[in-house]
Amino acid sequence: MKKFLRVFKWVLIILVFVLIWFGWDYYTRPIPLETVSQPIEINEEPHQDSNISIDSISFDSSRGEVVLTPVAYYDISAQVVGRKNYYTGFDAKFEPTDLALAWGKLTEPEYNQDITYSQSGRWYHFRYGPDAKLPENYIASHSVNTHIVPASDNIKKAVRRIKKGDQVNIKGYLVNIEAKDFKQRTSMTRTDIGSGACEILYAERIQIGNRVYE
């Protein structure tokens, strides 16, 4: 009888953990808007259009009002070469994830095998070996670190599930962000490097593989 109770106890514990895992997976699972058959064209340059007319976006925070000012429409198709979640800091509340994205020849095995990427502290870095077939300026102009500002909770859930190697298309707006004692300016070009070279993307629509989320 004692042996049966011990076995039953462990079976019950395992069952509880399985239920918790499935419950958490269901709670954090994004709901796709649609499934599409058209592949993501990761060889194309990002599309950017500054001729927009859209109101600023604001929400409350621990520092009062946070204001997002759209400065350009932005549409990027790329391969994810790095991702990093942030859980601490004021900006982690509205920029929970950074995606390192690459497109063009950087996504082709012939060219990307000697290039590595890393992320830390809201920055990304790339390194290339002596046998790299692409010059540094090409790598710098065809890869970006993007601060993702999800436009919805469903987008936030979808971004959390993005993995390195995924092909994605993200549509939204490049934004500048201001709050009390806080200011961020988005990059407006793919050729800059160093401080201020990251894109801040208010993501309204995202395609991961063949699934689209809003």
Check residue 54 and report its DSSP letter. Answer: -
Q: How far are the Cα atoms of 3, 89, 141, 171, 205 from residue 25, in angstroms, in the given order?
A: 33, 26, 37, 26, 22
Q: Find out whether 23 and 16 touch, Cβ atoms under 8 Å.
A: no
Task: Concatenate the DSSP letters of all residues of 164-185 into one string.
Answer: TT-EEEEEEEEEEEEETTEEE-
Considering the four listed CATH numbers 3.40.190.10, 1.10.1060.10, 1.10.340.70, 2.40.50.140, the one that applies to the domain covering 47-213 is 2.40.50.140
Give pLDDT tens digits along the chain (214 positions): 666 556 556 656 665 555 555 454 445 689 998 999 989 999 999 999 999 988 999 999 888 999 999 999 999 999 999 999 999 999 999 999 999 999 999 999 999 889 999 999 999 999 999 989 999 999 999 999 999 999 999 999 999 999 999 999 999 999 999 999 999 999 999 999 888 899 999 999 999 999 999 9
Q: Secondary structure of 59-91 in the HEC alphabet?
A: EEECCEEEEEEEEEEEEEEEEEEEEEECCCCHH
Task: Give the pLDDT score at 17.
Answer: 57
Question: Chain-centre distance of CA 114, in angstroms?
Answer: 23
**pLDDT at res. 6:** 64
Provide the whole-model pTM. Answer: 0.86
The pLDDT value given to residue 55: 92
Q: How far apart are CA 113 and CA 118, in angstroms?
A: 15
Per-residue model confidence (pLDDT) at position 144: 97
pLDDT on residue 15: 58
* Rounded Cα gap, residues 171 and 46, in angstroms: 10
Helices (H), the chain: 2-28, 109-112, 136-141, 153-160
